Amino acid sequence: MAFEGVVTDMSPYGLCVRMMEPVPPGTPIMLQLMRDERFSDPLATPLEGLIVRSTVTDEGFVDHGVQIQRAEFRRAGQSRPVHIERRRSTPYRRGGQSRMHTIDITIGDRGTQRSGR
């Protein structure tokens, strides 16, 4: 069965699809993102997903929360996963002398006498 819908929100872990037809939570689906409004030009390869929630809107549409089932990525020709080291951040300095300095510059002879200070 094929249903048409519009993606209203997307993240790396899932997306929200607004449709006319309700699909019960727990239903595994194949999701094909399309490039055009006639649903004829595919945007990418199909994704496996799982309906995790359904909410009926005031306009009569049904918003479906879809969790994307992501496969583990492996590089070709390698037998072990790639380890990426995190960058070490410099710790926040507490106390001590600040690096910020202020300077008061006067150009010419004007403004050398200050009143009110």
CA distance 103 to 65: 56
| CA-angle at 46, arms to 43 and 49, nearest 5° | 125
Of residues 71 and 8, the one with the higher pLDDT is 8
Domain ranges of the chain: 5-68
SS3 content of the chain, % helix, strand, coil (to 5): 0, 30, 70
- How does residue 24 score in pLDDT terms, banded at 50, 70 and 90? very high
Mention the CATH class of domain 5-68.
Answer: mainly beta
In this predicted structure, what is the pLDDT of residue 93? 58
Mean of the per-residue pLDDT values of the chain: 80
Q: Tens digits of per-residue pLDDT, 30-77?
A: 988 888 877 788 888 888 999 999 999 999 999 999 999 877 766 666
How far, CA to CA in Å, does 44 sit from each of 14, 37, 52, 91, 98?
15, 15, 22, 42, 52
Is the pTM higher than 0.85? The answer reads no
